[in-house]
Structure 1
Amino acid sequence: MSHEIYLDNSATTRPYDEVVQYIVEVSRSYYGNPSSLHTKGIEAENLIKKARLQTANVLRADPKEIYFTSGGTESNNLAVLGYLRANPRAGKHIITSEIEHPSVLEVFKHLASEGFRVDYIPVDTRGTIKLEALRNTVDRETALMSFMLANNEVGAIQPVSEIVKIRKELCPSAVIHIDAVQAFGKLPIYPAGMNIELLSMSSHKIHGPKGIGALYVKKGVRIKPILLGGGQETALRSGTENVPGICGFGLAAETTASAMEDNLTKVSGLKEFFIGKIKENFEDAVINSSDEALPYIINVSFPNLKSEVLLHHLEQKGIFVSTGSACSSHKSSQSHVLKAMGVSAKYIDGAIRFSLSAQNTPEELDTTINSLKEIIPVISIKHRGKV
């Protein structure tokens, strides 16, 4: 296979070389259990403290507000379930949106079966929650609201400041959880200044290792663990710490944050370039990601074809993309995000997510456009022939 063009960075990213090297070094030389009292254990514990500080610095938070988990899914579960279990008198009303990640939607579905009153806020055609609907939904019984800062399929950015204002006006005691898995390291996020109580992060979205994430918990907010055992992470997340993963996460967070502004500028240019080429060469294509969306994610619908077919044809040319979220194993149903945005079925069937990183180049996107020009006439004709 010739040079690979990786455009599935919302699913996962290629780890930085320096992160891989650091993980190997930690695995070889600092293999002690952080709970052990001897020197090897203390060395490992100190490395975790360093990574906690690195992660906290990105958020301008206190290191004591950072808890390491196995990834975004666990962080989301811990935030929602942990808060509600620790605060049973907070209320039985919880709110989220129609376009959340399954690790939030499935938790809310479970809580509904336990007697919680659940409301799902609709979104507009850009994927932005309808604030008036939220205003009409929040009441004095609202305990928690959970929203994804940047949507993983279309990149829609939610108006957190407006959500906070509505909370302050209608139910000041409610806490806000933000799923920042796609936004962390790509947008400036300072939870204390934004009045956010809970915030989820994941390492492998920012060129760090898989299997490690973190949850920000504002000082004073009570959370109950969802895993019981040895009491690690200040008794909030039991289990022997993944020291190499934590260290890799800390370094990836620091490295990504140090180049955040430059990366955002570069990727914004790549998005503009790519969308321009799409419009120039495929007049029937529909861009599902708005101009205001996170530039790292570009969702495009090509009518009269199946996105899975297009994906595999691109793969044969060494170009890797996605048909949507990669976090639902073996999913075959249509995107709930595009449905909620009002995208018609024929466009959902042909939707492809191109997700970028600062490691991508205009030349790679040019090659992708040329490949699409070769592939689409062939597979769209075959598709129409079956109708």
Structure 2
Amino acid sequence: MGGRTSEVACPRPPSLATGPVYLDHNATTPVDPRVTEAALPYWTGFFGNPSSEHAYGGEPRRALAAARAQVAGLIGARPAEIVFTGSGSEANLLALRGAVLAAGARDAHLVVQATEHPAVLETARALGRLHGTRVTVLPVDHHGLVSHDALAAALRTGSDRTVVSIMAANNETGAIQPVADLAALAHSRGALVHCDAAQACGKIPVDVGELDVDLLTVVGHKMYAPRGAAALFVREGVALEPVVYGGGQERGLRAGTENVALAVALGTAARLAADDLDAGRIAALRDDLHRRLAEALPGRVRLNGPEAAGQRLPNTLNVGIDGTRGHEVLARAPEIAASTGSACHSGVHEPSPVLTAMGFDAGRALAAIRLSLGRWSTQADVDTAVRALAAAVVDR
């Protein structure tokens, strides 16, 4: 799994046939044509409610069960532990709000880390504001990693009313957190552990048993399924307050008739990822891109995130180029589609909160460019990116 070195053989989406080289896979991925093909019958033909007992409900019900098993297979879970949701943000909300309210919000302690996705950080803030939950935000080091000691300090008063949320991999830098080590510590203090694995699933192996987490978020549009398809792993025996009340769908945690087509899409994407993560080929392209950028712009390219290969997603390269601003460089390089970590408000760019939390000053943070490769990235794409970025920076 993940050992290929040749160009990818699966069909290329028509959406990539024209336009700039796409290097923004951490934002969203093109839908794999095989995913579209699998899901299409559940939009066009098998329209029945999977809860219906008559003939029209049979095939949707079977497909929903198969998709649940496929998602479970990707992360080493049991099918009954998979709850389908409408987005990763909703899955994170169900995990954190659900666990905190089930534990008694005013007595609960929620521990998150500073570079989490806003879906986690804003949920934590809302729980503190609306329910009086005590919230601790852990610092990260200059690589973006949480330390064992920082979590230990936060858990000195740990109990079964404590919920810890640690993302598997960061969306901007690709930094891979030591989740298993942190989860072991949290469990030793009686805490429940959630992991937002939106960026990790489909890129690196993810196994809920090895990570020893109680809750884990999976997101479809980060691994070649459509937007609107996601899931939450809920370990058997974990109590959560529902995110949507009503019928008994999704173990009673997320009421509403299931979107079978999107579940099938997510399941198919999970199966394809489990069959071949393609990490080796993509990492080789990423490292070649990094090396050649550094050669084209000697002494000016700074890596943002861990240098060790095993501590960063194989597809992710976040770099700053001295003396530049990332959004200006990308504006002068229309041949590629990539992103920065900065936020733009009324034309004013602000430093990435992730890079700021890592201790970078505003100049270093505003220079950042995130280049994230994917399933159909090629050597020709790397060639184009190096040329475009070097040309956009030269003499600036």
TM-score (norm 1): 0.91
Separation in 2 of the partners of 1:148 and 1:194?
11
Separation in 1 of the partners of 2:125 and 2:45?
44
How far 1:89 sits from its partner (Å)?
7.9
Counterparts in 2 of 1:205-354, with a 5 A limit?
A: 205-260=222-277, 263-282=278-297, 283-291=299-307, 292-314=311-333, 316-317=334-335, 319-324=336-341, 332-354=349-371
Separation in 1 of the partners of 2:137 and 2:166?
10
1:333–1:36 Cα change, 3 Å: farther
| Greater Cα offset, 116-125 or 137-146 | 137-146
| Greater Cα offset, 71-80 or 300-309 | 300-309
1:89-110 Cα offsets, whole Å, 9 max, x none, are 8942111101000000001111
1:2–1:47 Cα change, 3 Å: closer
1:2–1:197 Cα change, 3 Å: closer
Find the counterpart in structure 1 of residue 218 from structure 2. Answer: 201
Structure 2: any 5+ residue segments left out of the alignment? Answer: 1-16
Asked if 1:154 is matched to 2:173, the reply is yes
1:325–1:163 Cα change, 3 Å: farther
TM-score (norm 2): 0.89
How far 1:38 sits from its partner (Å)?
1.9
What SS is found at the alignment partner of 2:67?
helix
1:148-205 Cα offsets, whole Å, 9 max, x none, are 1100000111111221232244x1x210000000001222222133321000010011
The answer to whether the Cα contact below 8 Å between 2:113 and 2:140 also exists between their aligned partners in 1 is: yes
What SS is found at the alignment partner of 2:171?
coil
How far 1:331 sits from its partner (Å)?
9.5
What value does the CA root-mean-square deviation take over the aligned residues?
A: 2.1
Separation in 2 of the partners of 1:353 and 1:361?
17
How far 1:325 sits from its partner (Å)?
8.1
Q: Percent identity?
A: 35
Separation in 1 of the partners of 2:312 and 2:294?
17
Find the counterpart in structure 2 of residue 192 from structure 1. Answer: 209
Amino acid at match of 2:32: Y
Amino acid at match of 1:9: H
The answer to whether the Cα contact below 8 Å between 1:96 and 1:121 also exists between their aligned partners in 2 is: yes
Find the counterpart in structure 1 of residue 22 from structure 2. Answer: 6
How far 1:340 sits from its partner (Å)?
0.8
The answer to whether the Cα contact below 8 Å between 1:5 and 1:364 also exists between their aligned partners in 2 is: yes
Separation in 1 of the partners of 2:290 and 2:392?
18
Separation in 2 of the partners of 1:62 and 1:90?
32
What SS is found at the alignment partner of 2:332?
helix
How far 1:3 sits from its partner (Å)?
5.3
1:330-373 Cα offsets, whole Å, 9 max, x none, are 99532111001111211211111001113211221111110112
Matched pairs, number? 372
The answer to whether the Cα contact below 8 Å between 1:97 and 1:122 also exists between their aligned partners in 2 is: yes
Separation in 2 of the partners of 1:313 and 1:305?
12
Structure 1: any 5+ residue segments left out of the alignment? Answer: 381-387
Separation in 1 of the partners of 2:245 and 2:205?
33
